[in-house]
């Protein structure tokens, strides 16, 4: 199983690298490296295949021209469902409403979807802390973490939510 998962991860990274825009000094956050870090975090913490692959691919729909049909054909319906759960709805223009809808959709799609979003947020906390971007820490990371804490059902008790709470308290 492990070798097959590693091959699927490599396939996911190749798909991203062929389809993501190239980052430069004006990029808010280099998205390809961010997605790799999120996937590696989930892999190293022994999450399921679908969660890991969704972690690597969580920005695929939002930041590339990768078709949902491609994701389904290569990685399956469950991975696509998890990716779609953590993809922002750009038809919502109000940032607060957009973030609330995103987290509510993750919750509605189950604990696995919220785990992917929590890993995404933890990596953002780490990145913006490293580059000392207080604006993104307060106006994105903390707000998303607060929404996850607020909307997360009590039966969602994975250890990732405890780690997210630690990051959230650091920056509040």
Indicate if the pLDDT at residue 93 is higher than 80.
yes
CB 99 within 8 A of CB 73: no
Confidence of residue 1 (pLDDT cuts 50, 70, 90): very low
Residues 100-156: tens digit of each pLDDT: 999 999 999 999 999 999 999 999 999 999 999 999 999 999 999 999 999 999 999
Q: Please give the pLDDT value at position 172.
A: 60
As a whole number, mean pLDDT of residues 160-169 equals 94
Q: Is pLDDT larger for residue 108 or for residue 29?
A: 108
pLDDT confidence tier of residue 3, bands split at 50, 70 and 90:
confident
Q: Can you read off the two tokens belonging to residue 30?
A: 């280099």
Q: Which residue range forms the structural domain that includes residue 97?
A: 2-170
Higher pLDDT, 170 or 67: 67
Q: What is the mean pLDDT of the chain?
A: 94
pLDDT for 129 equals 95
When pLDDT is cut at 50, 70 and 90, the band that residue 168 belongs to is confident
Q: What is the total count of domains within the chain?
A: 1
Q: What SS3 string covers 129-140?
A: HHCCCHHHHHHH
Q: Taking residues 58-75, what's their average pLDDT?
A: 95
The CATH number assigned to the domain holding 70 equals 1.10.3210.10
Task: Cite the DSSP H helix spans in 109-158.
Answer: 111-130, 134-136, 142-151
Nearest to 65 by CA among 20, 30, 32, 95: 20
Per-residue pLDDT, averaged over 68-88, amounts to 97
The pair phi, psi for residue 105, each rounded to 5°, is -65, -40
> What is the helix (H) or strand (E) element at residue 161, kind and residue range?
helix 159-170
């Amino acid at each position: 199983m492990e070798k097959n998962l590693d091959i699927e991860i490599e396939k996911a990274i190749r798909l991203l690298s062929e389809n993501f825009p190239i980052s430069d000094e004006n990029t808010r956050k280099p998205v390809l490296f961010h997605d790799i870090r999120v996937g590696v975090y989930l892999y190293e913490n022994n999450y399921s295949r679908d969660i890991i692959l969704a972690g690597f691919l969580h920005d695929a729909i939002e930041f590339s021209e990768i078709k949902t049909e491609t994701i389904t054909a290569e990685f399956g319906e469950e991975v696509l469902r998890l990716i779609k759960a953590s993809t922002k709805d750009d038809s919502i223009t109000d940032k607060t409403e957009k973030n609330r809808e995103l987290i509510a959709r993750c919750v509605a799609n189950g604990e696995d979807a919220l785990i992917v979003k929590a890993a995404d947020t933890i990596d953002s906390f780490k990145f913006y802390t490293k580059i000392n971007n207080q604006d993104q820490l307060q106006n994105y990371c903390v707000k998303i973490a607060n929404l996850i804490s607020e909307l997360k059902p009590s039966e969602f008790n994975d250890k990732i939510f405890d780690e997210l709470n630690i990051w959230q308290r650091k920056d509040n």
